Structures are given as C-alpha cells and as structure tokens.
Chain A
C-alpha cells in the first residue's frame, strides 16, 4: 500500500466524523496555540528589553546618592545630598570613561505664549546626547560655554513641542517660561518613545545643569551622574573606579557606608531578562501540560474510535488488510488529527500574539522556529499517543471483530 492511499483512508475517516475529529483536535489546537503565544511573549520580552537597554544609552552607569541616617531614621537610596557637579567632572576624567554628565531635575509648570504644560525639566551637560544616544531633530544642543554661563537656553522633547507649540512649524527661537525664567529654544530632540517603566521619555525639557541649579532650584547637589564607559567589557572596571574615586572624594574609609550608589544598567537588564526567563519556563510548563492533555485526548478518542469501528476493522482485515496497514491507518489518523490541530493551533497562536501586541501593547515576536517546534511537538504527540490505539486495532481478531455489536 502506498502512503498516498493510507493518507487518503485516514483522511476519509476524519472527514466522515467531522465533529468528533474537531473535538479531538481541540486539545491540540489549544496546546499548540499556548506554545506559540508563550514563545512569542518570551521572545518579544527579550527583544523589548534589549531595545530598551540600547535606548537607555551605550554602556551606561548611573551614580546616585546613597541613603542617610538622620536621628536613627534611614532614608531611602537617593535621598542624600552628596553628589556635586565636581564629582561628575572628576568621573569624566577617569580612564575608560567616554563621557559623564551630572543630572538635576524638577517637575514644574512651563508656559509658552498662550499654552502651558506640566513637564520634567532635566539639567544636564552637553555630553548627555552622546550618553543617551539621543539625536537632535532640529537646531543645536547647548555647549560647554552655555554651562559656564548658565545660559537660558533649552532643548525640547517631542511631547513638550506638541503641547506647547501645537500650531507652530518650528519652536526654534521661541521663548519658554520655566518658573518665570525665559529660556530660548535652541533645539529639538528626536522621538524616543516609552521607557522600560512606561514613562514618556519625550515629555522633557533639557537645560544646562548649571542653569537649573542656579536659576531654578538653587541647589548645589546633583541628583544623578550618568556615565558612559568606553567599551562594554569595561563597565565593571569603570564601576569599581567610580566607587574608589568617590570614596576618596567623599572621605569614606574603613567600615563607613558609601553615601552613593553606582548602578550598572546591564545588571538591571539581566535581572529583567532573568525574570522573563522565569516567566517563559512557567508558561512553557503550562503549554507542555496542555499539549500532553491534548495528546491524551487524542488517545482517548482514538481508543473510542477503535472500539466503535471494531466491525470496520474486522472487515478491512477480512478483505485483505495486513496488520501493518491497519496500524498505519490509525497511526496516520492520529498524526493527521494532531498535525491539523497543530496547524490550526499555530494560526490561532499567531493571531492571538498579533492581537496581544496590538491591543495589549506588549511586544510579540513569533519566530518561525517556535512555530515549527510547536507543530512538530504536536505531530510527535500524535505518534506517541496514537500508537497504542493503532496497535490495538491492528491486533484485533477479525472473527470476533466481525461479530462485534
């Protein structure tokens, strides 16, 4: 018997029992769809994390003030006022440091003409655009001379432009009032999109950090120093150098607690990636279980089917079917059921992944390998769980089978 004939016999049996076949496939459809969605979530999360890491800036390290203990009350990390702009300048001179910028910030109401908007003001150094890998859309960025003179110039994020200058073709040269101090717009930032935590990174106005400290807040401390290492493999080295340098500058010796904290974004990314992996394992477990349940469903229905079709099997043996032909027929039937179920599952899975990425705003990536994997696993499940019923059919005694009521 050629394979085409066997396939045809199995296919006839499937289409003659449409409802039963569909119900049998249901388990497989759900299982495979679950696998495809799982893989999509996992891969999508990885891609998103990777994109966000590069979006944060290349080889980025963040120095923030540590916690302080006041009258026995320990404040949280970042509460202390310990970092100065000079710390930033000193860090910038370290070997393997490509650039460093102090950062100060406040949130306040800003006014331009008849429009106003509540936004984030970030006081930074000119190296900021390099560190964050953030390009200008138009105009220019402020310079070291602007830092030195605490110039009243600003660079606007796209969200701010939309809200302050909805009707203007270009905001360049316009005045923005920040706490009643007039700043001239000299540049605009390209669109950056959402950050890892979901905040709008384009809702920002960049000004020289000296201008922020002297003209707006009157502080002498900075809230953050962003550092860019020259190469990725030097990130840990730079991290140790910064700790040494700042301990020296802040006169921290012996068992004293550091009054600052150096964070390596790669660690954060690794943590995010690790949690994504955990999630993937969990979902994969659920998916494998549902595939198993689907396989057992196929075995159940095939066993019922063998019993129900005992006379048919007896007849087939009587008219000359070899045992191998009966085995092949039922095995192929199981594999076709699980395979077609798997295909439908892949289609549903991809559709669900697309829906989740569109409506759930979760990045979904459906890799071809994932689809192949889910489909092959489904087909294998069919072989595995189809073998026992098929072998039962092949070993039926034709005389008893023909008498079976």
Chain B
C-alpha cells in the first residue's frame, strides 16, 4: 500500500476518514431509521373491527335497501362513520354461492371510482355517485360511468343470542362477485387487476378473530 507504514494495509489518513464517515452515517441512521419506521408503521398494523349490530332481521326486505350508519374508525366521531345499504338475500337474483356470511347483502356506500358516497335511488333501483356519475344496479354491479368494479360489501351474520343482524369487515368483489380482501376504490380486480393491486397488510380481516 503506497503511503502506508510498513506492514499496514491502509494509510492512517484513509482509515481515519473511513472511521469518521462511518460514525457519522451510524449517527444519522440512529435517528432516521426509527423515524421512518414510525411513519410507515401503520402500513403493517391491522385495522381493529368488531361485529356491529344493525337491527333485527325484520328490518330488511328482499326488494329494497335499508340505510344503516356504521362505524369504520373509532374515536373521531362523524369522520369515522360510513353507510351500509342492507337487504335480505334474494335467491332469485343473488346467484353468487351462499355461505354463512351472505344471508343479508350489505353494500358499502363508497363508489369504486374514487370513493365518493353513492346514494340509493329506489325509483330507479340504482346506486348513483354524485362526483363523476358512476351508476350501479340493484346488486351493486357497475352499469355506467367510471367505476372499475362492483360496490364493496360487508360480511353479515345473524347473532342468535341477541336476535340481531350483525355486520363485519368490508371485502371487495370482482365483476363475478368473487371475494377479495378490501381494496381501495379505483383498483380493478378483474384479470390482471388483482395482481396490479395486491392485498394490503393493514385491512381488517374476518380471520382475525
């Protein structure tokens, strides 16, 4: 090594430079990495959820929707609430396979274009979004406008102990009403869409409890 003392593999100046830069980098990492982890931590913490009672089975008919206010996030009042449109499953039109969470159809009011709240218009039997004109039919399937997939749904169940219908976490569906973990609006789930928009680590999942 030119410039180094005999028997040394590095010059003392270069060694000192490396030590100074290295300790500076370690000191910077010591506060940057925890702060960064703190900022992205919520990506990996699951949203807490619980079965929310929304009323006795008599409240819901097969032919129209009942509007129920539900809570998505606790502790922030109105801003944490959302709306579910709920009806009894109608075997004549609801052709998707039936399981224990599907005796009542509960649709989320979030438009699958960009997340504005849709409104159910009973006369037209359509859900209509005020923002960019998305239109959904009685089952929540897209019939017009920019939405990329049918309205999201909630798991529902009957609680025999209380005699009330309960509403669980949200899930997303593709145009064949296959279930996916909850996605954000604007993310198609047909074909390549389900791979372009992978599941997240933060969403509430039925298997959590």
- Tell whether A pairs with B: no
